[in-house]
Structure 1
Amino acid sequence: MAGSLSIPAEFAVFDGDLNESWTERYLQMPCLAVDTEAMGLIHGRDRLCLVQIADAQDHVACVRIGLGQLHAPNLQHLFEASSVEKVFHFARFDVAALATGLEISVRPLFCTKVGSRLGRTYTPRHGLKDLVMELVGVELDKGAQSSDWGRVEELTDVQLAYAANDVRHLLPARDRLETMLRREGRWDLAKRCFACIPVIAELDRLRFNQIFEH
């Protein structure tokens, strides 16, 4: 039976940016799970609305990004810190969203979707729900995935719970994927793929498609 979703050890919601104490706490971590929510999937048209972060101690923060906001200094300092690995699922989208919305250049990073495609070659199911179910034993509720994230001041408890749970299980999934990739001799290849993601994200932002095709 799937594991049930528990309440985070600590959960906080911020407007515009992390505060100093949470930033310092997160900077002490070797890796963080990160996710974003936006009004849609087109960078530049669909604005960034929410940034979610979780550490290995289950301290979860949601940062609501205001309409017209262009910068978040503490988030930028954290996400550009070379000592902290940022773990995403489908990092290509989130990295582009953070660059477009807040001018943040995320590095270093780990993408669980890329890791899954390289390691879990026995399945075509590489979505977050399937990945977390297999590797962590938790069934995620994706019911709030398509919703109005632009109403940042009025986000419902259901939306915030969905946003929090999307990041809370990324770190154990990341560790299990690394074990699998090392076992299969694909860890170095995975690291090179992760290093390419910021370039691919920039190409997405500039609307370049299929530039590697003949």
Structure 2
Amino acid sequence: MAIKLYKGDLPGGLDFGPAVAVDTETLGLIPRRDKLCLVQLSSGDGNAHLVQLDRTSYDAPNLKTLLANPDVMKIFHFARFDVAVIKYYLGIDVAPLYCTKIASRLTRTYTDRHGLKDLIKELLGIELNKQQQSSDWGAHVLSDAQKQYAAQDVIYLHELKARLDQMLAREGRTDVARACFAFLPARAALDLAGWTEEDVFAH
């Protein structure tokens, strides 16, 4: 696995193909308080591209163009959070997109374990090391352990999507999954507007 770290933005000319795996690292779990620090990307070739953002400007035109490109599918795990922080800090709507966590919930109804580590272990037989999950992503220099952790969160998403697509088709839930994915930008907008816990569809 090769890991490339870029400061501020992606270089021009990178081609991630028809689908790019995406993840984010922040200073916490409240988008309006905890700044977006890092965006990880992979084309599914086993390599990772990490963009360490300038948190004073978030001026990253190449990254924004990629994430907003309607011809490139963006694959996330728990897209609801990532789409919200990208919207808040980069000012763009991410679409089209796919969420492996939603796909897991729609297919793996025999378990309540839908975290990335559990999903990769069951479907791909790979153990992830999550020790750096709560580390300081705002550090000026990221450690090798942080970079390894950030990379592993995207390099398996293409393979997971392929397995989950098979399961969705088997259970006849592909269409409802697509509808859920299409709704995610609206769900993220509700989160940013303050409706994180309240169900606006409730009576």
| TM-score when normalising by structure 1 | 0.91
1:35 pairs with 6, 16, 23, which one? 23
Question: 1:158-169 maps to which residues of 2 (within 5 A)?
Answer: 158-169=145-156
> Match of 1:187?
174
1:213 aligns with 2:192: no
The answer to whether the Cα contact below 8 Å between 1:16 and 1:69 also exists between their aligned partners in 2 is no
Partner of 1:201: 188
Which residue is equivalent to 1:4? none
Query: Following the alignment from structure 1 to structure 2, what is the Cα–Cα distance between the partners of residues 119 and 192?
Result: 15
In structure 1, stretches of 5+ residues that fail to align are 1-7
Match of 1:45 among 33, 43, 54: 33
User: Counterparts of 1:57-206 in structure 2 under 5 Å?
Assistant: 57-151=45-139, 153-206=140-193
Counterpart Cα distance in 2 of 1:184 and 1:155:
42
CA contact (8 A) 2:25 2:36 kept: yes
| 2:10 maps to 1:18 | yes
Letter in 1 for 2:138: G
| Count of residues in Structure 1 that have an aligned counterpart in Structure 2 | 201
Query: Structure 1 counterpart of 2:193, which letter?
Result: L
Give TM-score, length-normalised by structure 2: 0.96
What do residues 108-140 of structure 1 show as CA deviations (whole Å, max 9, x unaligned)? 000000000001111111000000111111111
The one-letter amino acid of 1:212's match is F
Q: How far apart, in 1, do the equivalents of 2:74 and 2:124 lie?
A: 19
| Amino acid corresponding to residue 17 of structure 1 in structure 2 | D
CA distance in 2, matches of 1:101, 1:150: 15
**Preserved contact between residue 44 and residue 157 of structure 2 (Cα < 8 Å):** no
Distance in 2 (CA, whole Å) between partners of 1:106 and 1:18 is 17
1:104 is aligned with what amino acid? Answer: I
RMSD, aligned CA: 1.0
Q: SS of the counterpart of 1:168?
A: coil
Identity rate, percent = 49
Whole-Å Cα distance in 2 between the matches of residues 61 and 69 of structure 1?
20
Q: What whole-Å deviation, never above 9, does each CA across 1:69-110 have from its counterpart, x for those lacking one?
A: 233111111111111100000000000011111112100000
List alignment gaps of at least 5 residues for structure 2.
none
Q: Confirm or deny: 8 A CA contact 2:41 2:49 kept in the other structure.
A: yes
Confirm or deny: 8 A CA contact 1:11 1:60 kept in the other structure: yes
Write the distance in 2 (CA, Å) between the matches of 1:140 and 1:202: 31
Select between 194-203 and 65-74 the one with higher mean Cα deviation: 65-74
Moved over 4 A (4+): none
Instruction: Work out whether residues 21 and 43 of structure 2, in 8 Å CA contact, stay in contact via their aligned partners in 1.
Output: yes
On the 8 A contact 1:71/1:103 being kept in 2, the answer is: no
